[in-house]
Amino acid sequence: RKEVEQDPGPFNVPEGATVAFNCTYSNSASQSFFWYRQDCRKEPKLLMSVYSSGNEDGRFTAQLNRASQYISLLIRDSKLSDSATYLCVVNPGSQGNLIFGKGTKLSVKP
């Protein structure tokens, strides 16, 4: 089983749509969780951290279910500029290294 698994997509949605991405991780001892955004041929940029209590940042909502080892990202009212690859990222322990999923590609169409 891969350490971090995501549906690669692509998700093709119209502007204004709500879209949800899911991610599962294999290491139950993982300590912290993130969603990163990566534009084509660019470095990943932190979108938001993910907490068990759930957290929201504008149109973006992230959820963590530790029991199911499952992470989600919800994007409401999609914009054209949201088109990118969304990476589910897990920090498995104290060493600080990050484990990346392959990413889910989102394409928002006018």
Partner 1 sequence: GAVVSQHPSWVICKSGTSVKIECRSLDFQATTMFWYRQFPKQSLMLMATSNEGSKATYEQGVEKDKFLINHASLTLSTLTVTSAHPEDSSFYICSAAGPAKPQHFGDGTRLSIL
Question: Which residues of the shown chain bind partner 1 in the complex (CB under 8 A)?
Answer: 4, 41-46, 87, 95-103
| Tokens, residue 82 | 């949201």
Strand, coil or helix: 53: coil
1 vs 41, which CB is nearer to partner 1? 41
CB of 98 to partner 1, least distance (A): 6
Beta bridge partners of 74: 20, 61
Least distance from partner 1 to the Cβ atom of residue 88, Å: 9
Output the smallest distance, CB 41 to partner 1, in A. Answer: 7
Nearest to 108 by CA among 76, 88, 83: 83
Cβ–Cβ contacts within 10 Å for residue 85, how many? 22
Nearer to partner 1, 75 or 88 (CB): 88
